[in-house]
């Protein structure tokens, strides 16, 4: 299994560092551009939410490749929050003007990945996303 883990401070300036980490990991592990782009978009969406809403100070990202699957786990020490159950599904049939603000990021993540799961482990939020390559 090709796995790599990195810890980042939770601040807006870390967004570009996270993107660089995910992109470089994907490149070093021969992940195609299509999957690499999806991983980058999903990382950006989730990390943005952690930075702006979680109250966390530390974020750990683990990327791994095994048996034709890529898994990306994001662990933060912020307040407990399960985006899979606590974020209302957006009404994608409504126009942009009529649609409620929020919820599109996690909606996109769930659409792009094969699976997304959440667990609260030792005072940390852990969001795990998996996609076939």
Residue 2: pLDDT band with limits 50, 70, 90: confident
Predicted TM-score (pTM) of this structure: 0.88
What is the per-residue pLDDT for 88? 67
Q: What is the mean pLDDT of residues 5-12?
A: 98
The CATH number of 2-132 is: 3.30.565.10
- In eight-state DSSP terms, residue 10 is S
- In whole angstroms, give the CA distance from residue 14 to residue 10: 7
Query: Taking all residues of the chain, what is their mean pLDDT, rounded to a whole number?
Result: 91
Nearest to 64 by CA among 72, 56, 52: 72
Helix, strand, coil percentages, rounded to 5, for the chain:
40, 30, 30
Q: What digits encode the pLDDT tens for the residues 92-115?
A: 565 556 545 555 678 899 999 999
Tokens (6 digits) for 55: 């109250």
Would you say 131 and 114 are in contact if contact means Cβ atoms under 8 Å apart? Answer: yes
Give strand ranges (E) for 23-114: 58-66, 69-76
Domain ranges of the chain: 2-132
Q: What is the mean pLDDT of residues 69-89?
A: 91
Q: What digits encode the pLDDT tens for the residues 31-53?
A: 999 999 999 999 999 999 999 99
């Amino acid at each position: 299994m090709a796995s790599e883990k990195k810890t980042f401070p939770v601040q807006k300036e870390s967004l570009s560092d996270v993107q660089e980490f995910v992109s470089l990991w994907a490149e070093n592990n021969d992940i195609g551009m299509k999957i690499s782009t999806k991983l980058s978009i999903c990382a950006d969406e989730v990390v943005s939410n952690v930075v702006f809403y979680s109250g966390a100070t530390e974020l750990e990202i683990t990327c791994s490749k095994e048996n034709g699957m890529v898994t990306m786990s994001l662990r933060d020490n912020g307040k407990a929050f399960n985006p899979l159950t606590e974020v209302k599904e957006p009404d994608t049939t409504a126009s942009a003007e009529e649609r409620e603000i929020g919820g599109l990021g996690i909606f996109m993540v769930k659409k792009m990945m094969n699976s997304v799961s959440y667990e609260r482990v030792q005072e940390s939020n852990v969001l795990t996303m998996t996609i076939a390559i």
